[in-house]
Amino acid sequence: IDKMIDKIMDRIAWGMSAIGAFVLLLMLVVTIADVVADKLLKLPFPGSTELVMSIMPISVCAFLLSLQIKKRHIVIDIMVNMLGPKARVFLQLLTPPCGIFLFGLLTWLSVPLAIHSVRIGEHTGGNVGVPMYPAKVMIPIATGLVTIQLIIELVRILRDWKKPQAVAAPAVDITDNIS
């Protein structure tokens, strides 16, 4: 069942990352078009600032699940390396519940905002109204998926913690066999 869950979460993470990559590419193209149009044609790209600003949260949130699955998040190694082994184990046990609480809270608080934004068809102010609701919908989706991943990780930590540890085989030094 672990492999099936991992496969599902990996596919979702891949889809979210594809969305994030597309949005980053869109931001790049719009920004370049704005700069080129402004510098060469003296005609700024209308709504470029509003568009980039409205989709930036999508580009950030879309990669959160992949970062959590691959354990590519920020770790303060200097501080962790100063701790003893028991303190490190304690931190490893403490991290998922803290993440579940924080990402769960973000999800819970952002869902009503996303629903309201969709209901009113929220747009940016300015010369060109760019929809804000896609970004506001992405936030609870991304934080909810990270919360689910953290719950999966916590269940696995607790499950594996209760299992008896296998005795490690003695290390073999390969240089002993060289004569």
Q: Where do we find the tokens 């590419």? A: 25
pLDDT at res. 161: 75
| Chain centroid offset of residue 58 CA | 10
> pTM value?
0.81
Question: Where does residue 8 rank: exposed (0-12), middle (13-18), buried (19+ CB within 10 A)?
Answer: exposed
Q: In Å, how far are 7, 8, 123 from 4, measured between CA atoms?
A: 5, 6, 40
Angle between helices 48-61 and 133-162 (to 10 degrees): 10
pLDDT digits (tens, 9 = 90+) for 28-81: 999 999 999 989 988 888 888 889 989 999 999 999 999 999 887 776 777 778
- Write out the two tokens for 160: 């594996």
> In the chain, pLDDT over 70 holds for what percent of residues?
88
Q: Residue 174: what pLDDT? A: 43
Q: Are 45 and 30 in contact (CB under 8 A)?
A: yes
